[in-house]
Amino acid sequence: MRFIKLHLQYFGPYRDTTIDFTEFSEAPVFLISGQTGSGKTTIFDALVYALYGKTAGEERDGSEMRSKFATASDHTAVTLTFDHQELTYQLTRQPEQWVAKKRGDGLTKRPAKVELSVMRDGQEIDAFTKANTVVKEISDILPLDDTQFRQIVLLPQGDFRKFLDANSNDKEKLLRDLFGTGIYDQWTQALKQQAKDQQAASVKQLTRGELLRDQFNWVEAPDQNVPLADVAPLMTDALENNSKQ
């Protein structure tokens, strides 16, 4: 997954701004700097909101990110364009907002909307507008939830420290999801269960063998310390002889 552009419309302090990530294509890590209140965190908010419908700090929802200077005829929206496996995706999300009515005076509450377009060579080949479907599509492309995305992809105001300070179980889950190694964990659990089942079957067979041994009338009782495996052939021969008689 590679970000291409982020377009903010009346989102936070931004009226109509586009961030072109292709300008940083040769820099694996880059710094977003500026004075306090200049809108640095809002860029993180916009990225997380576009992908997950939440903000980076989880302190505000999408509707609260609508610009204070937006008029009733202005619409708040965030559009994120990115590449993934030779396809281009354009994800547009609009929060719930009060806008002017199409007819007559006054305002109307417009519900939140989301649209995901999939393109190949500039031509749209698929589109999704249902929120649950978009969530599934994004999850298939980016196997991280919003918390993991903030901790790994973004480094806002020291949040990466939370990952470094996280306990081993949390790190293991996050890295397993990030690198898609869950199948190996499933395989390990399956082997453990198989070994457990085999052990239970062995114990059952040994118990059954001991019960059979106790049912025989021995001319000379076997030493209790003799392993059952050494006694079993004698028991088998005795059963066969009894069946012939």
Cα–Cα distance for residue pair 149/42, rounded to 1 Å: 16
Q: In this predicted model, which residue has the larger pLDDT, 202 or 172?
A: 202
- The mean predicted confidence, pLDDT, of the chain is 79
Which range among 113-127, 140-154, 181-195 has the greatest average pLDDT?
Answer: 113-127
Domain residue limits, the chain: 2-142, 186-244
**pLDDT per position as a tens digit, 104-132:** 888 898 899 999 999 999 899 999 999 99
88 pLDDT more than 90: yes
d(CA 25, CA 27): 6
Q: What is the pLDDT of residue 204?
A: 85
- What are the two backbone dihedrals, phi and then psi, of residue 159, each rounded to the nearest 5 degrees? -65, -25
Does CATH place domain 2-142 in 3.10.129.10? no
Confidence of residue 91 (pLDDT cuts 50, 70, 90): very high
Q: Quote the pLDDT of residue 197.
A: 87
Does residue 27 have a pLDDT over 60? yes
Q: Rounded to two decimals, what is the model's pTM? A: 0.60
Tally of CB atoms within 10 A around 79:
19
